Chains A and B, each alone.
Chain A
Amino acid sequence: MEMFLVFVGNGVVIGSIYAMLAMGLSFTFSIMRLVNFAHGEIYVLGSYMAWVVITKFVANFWLGLLLAIVVGAVLGYIIERFAYRTVYQAGYLSQFLVSLGVVVILQEAMRVGFSGLTQTCPTLFPTVRVIGKFAVTDQRLIVVGMTILIVAGIFLFFNRTKMGKAMRATRGSPLAAGMVGISVPRMRSVAFMGCAALATVAGALLAPIFSFQPFIGMRYTVVAIIVIVAGGIGSIGGAAIAGYALGIIESLFAGYLLGQWTFSVGFFILIVVLKFRPQGLFGKERA
């Protein structure tokens, strides 16, 4: 039973990141109708930002997180403005290829900039706390805490602020949103900046827990896609729940069965969901 709790605890940490990644990707998809394959690469870049600050400048995790947010938002602006904006009307294959071109550019830029070696970021919060039967490091508590804060922030943003409502309107119908005076290009730009920042934050949070290298991003993009499809396309809450569920199931699988084959769990879920419940667990839109 004790091991079970440990595995579940690990699963919650990983699930937090899956949820954050999936929510970002899901939202860019629903507002821009474009799958951003570079999501995972942006996540890895966030890990590198935290790593650069901590190992090269000052040993302050929060500064690393801040740099990750800034870099994520700026990069998001650039990608949306110069790559994606040109292909909104161009059909899925053009969008994919432009997106994959961004993947290639980011991967190579990271390889040239930070070398292709696998890196780990030293943790600045190694203290182990015992809460009930859980023993958990502060670093992991920070991951879970930040995720809860961010998810709550996202829900408040969409439900309470004017801009959040404008964004939801854009998601529902860009044409109608434009007619009532919402600047659709601006909404898309801001949404993409936010989602890129969300990815870099996830990367920075996990940098001290998982190792990373320039070519690992696609793994996270694919996990985010699995979570979105399983949770139901278009359902941001579903993405969050499915993200946590996948994290916990994977962690239990790794703990009790085959650690090496953990990646297969997500794919198995994907295949079963697509074949027997194509609209996802919480979705309305059929995949």
Chain B
Amino acid sequence: MRSFMRKKGFAYLVGVALVAVLPHLIGLAGSAWMHTFVIVGVYGILTVSLNLIRGYTGQICISHVAMYGIGAYGSALVGIKLGVNFWLALLIGALMAGMVGLFIGWVSLGLRGVYFAITTLAFLRLIGAILTNWIGLTGGEVGLYGVPRPSIGGFVFEPTNRVAWIYLAFGFLILSVFIVDRIVNSRMGRALIAIREDEDLAKSTGINTFNYKMISMGISSFLAGIGGGLYGAYMGTITPADCAVIPSVMAMAGLVMGGQGTMLGPIIGSVFVNLLPELLRLTGEYYFIMFGVIMILFIIFLPRGVMGVIASLRARLRARTSIKEVGV
């Protein structure tokens, strides 16, 4: 922990400072963007957690958004029906998401690559269909509304108080980045990366690949559940469409556009996938088609995302300076 903080403490301090001024910076652009940035923060938790299972463990988990949905539904239901305190409800929702994630993992983590991915797609559909059809519990297509707001002492996080919500969302975002960072830079993280690089080789060195994948799946599902719980509390309502195929596409596209397997990538990606449609919306009815086209072009031409571009620019710069140094 101490060496970790020595190495990365400064980066986290910068992050916290950035978050502290963030609402004021966005406020300059117009208060309408404040809402988008709350969503960026909450969605960032989702992409950061997806990064753990996809970016570092190498498993293409398409059902991940469903865990976000379960976190949202779980905490909202516990809050509405049982009147439990928000923070406890958030934890319960996230634990539910973790349990479901582990079940999906138990069924499908024995599969490799494309087979794992399409199986998790089926689970995404299954959970969406359950949320839509179990009307007595989930309210069907209409979903749940009147989700309790979080509060600390006497202070209630009203959704109109965007500044407070940005702090809350980005606070949890930094916390989840910290958790993922700690995991990745541990013995376990090295095992996960080994699995990503070559599963058979990892197995042959004595790593219990199935167990490690399960742990990764459980933790990332739990974090996604936290993100979902915050999303439900901010919006005040949650519907099956919030955790269907399109949000799943957005989360994965965000991760890849930002740069998977990096710490900042998923956050950049979350900014990207939430801001871009809002900007394109100004162009009219076809905006989401344009989003799809931009996404495809991005994947084709910049498959390593923004962080990949930065890394290759850096490498080129370094190559140039080293050439200068030897005087060629």
| A interface, CB within 8 angstroms of B | 35, 37, 83, 86-87, 90-94, 96-98, 100-105, 108-109, 112, 218-219, 221-222, 225-226, 229, 233, 260-261, 263-264, 267, 270-271, 274-275, 278, 287
Contacts and interface: CB of A to CB of B under 8 A. Distances in A.
A174 to B, nearest CB: 17
Q: Is the interface of B mostly helix, strand, loop or mixed?
A: helix
Given A218-B125, A226-B122, A92 B107 contact: no
Contacts of B115: 229, 233, 287
A222 B295 contact: no
B285 interface: yes
5 A-B pairs closest in CB distance: A104-B292, A105-B292, A101-B296, A222-B125, A100-B249
A101 B299 contact: yes
B253 interface: yes
A83 B300 CA distance: 8
Nearest to B132: A263
Interface of B: 54, 60, 62, 107-108, 110-111, 113-115, 117-119, 121-123, 125-126, 129-130, 133, 245-246, 249, 252-253, 256, 260, 285-286, 288-289, 291-293, 295-296, 299-300, 303
A86 B295 contact: no
Q: Which of A93, A108, A222, A263 has the most CB of B within 10 A?
A: A93
A101 B295 contact: yes
A87 B300 contact: yes
Nearest to A228: B118
A285 B256 CA distance: 30
Contact of A96 (B122, B252, B288): B252
B50 to A, nearest CB: 11
A102 to B, nearest CB: 7
Contacts of A222: 121-122, 125
Contact of A101 (B108, B110, B121, B292): B292
B253 A112 contact: no
A92 B114 contact: yes
A283 to B, nearest CB: 11
B110 A87 contact: no
A107 B18 CA distance: 38
A91 B114 CA distance: 10
Nearest to B245: A218
Given A96-B62, A105-B292, A267 B299 contact: no
A93 B288 contact: no
Contacts of B253: 97, 100-101
Contacts of A225: 118, 121-122
Contact of A103 (B113, B119, B249, B256): B249
B117 A103 contact: no
B118 A35 contact: yes
B243 to A, nearest CB: 13
B249 A219 contact: no
A168 B125 CA distance: 32
Contact of B110 (A96, A100, A261, A278): A278
A229 B121 CA distance: 13
A105 B300 contact: no
Nearest to B62: A96
Contact of B256 (A93, A219, A271): A93
B47 to A, nearest CB: 14
Nearest to B111: A287
A216 to B, nearest CB: 11
B253 to A, nearest CB: 6
A100 B289 CA distance: 12
A112 B289 contact: yes
Nearest to A261: B133
Contacts of A96: 60, 62, 117, 252
B295 A94 contact: no
B296 A229 contact: no
A222 B117 CA distance: 12
Nearest to B293: A105
Contacts of A98: 296, 299-300
Contact of A109 (B121, B129, B289, B296): B289
A92 B125 contact: no
B288 A94 contact: no
Given A90-B303, A92-B117, A101-B299, A108 B289 contact: yes
Q: Which of A87, A96, A98, A261 has the most CB of B within 10 A?
A: A96
B118 A229 contact: yes
Contacts of A264: 126, 129-130
Contacts of B119: 229, 270, 274, 287
B300 A86 contact: yes
B299 A103 contact: no
Nearest to A222: B125
Contacts of B292: 101-102, 104-105, 108
Contact of B114 (A35, A83, A87, A274): A35
B122 A270 contact: yes
B108 A274 contact: yes
Nearest to B241: A215
A98 B117 CA distance: 14
Given A93-B252, A261-B133, A104 B291 contact: yes
Nearest to A109: B289
A92 B113 contact: yes
A275 B296 CA distance: 34
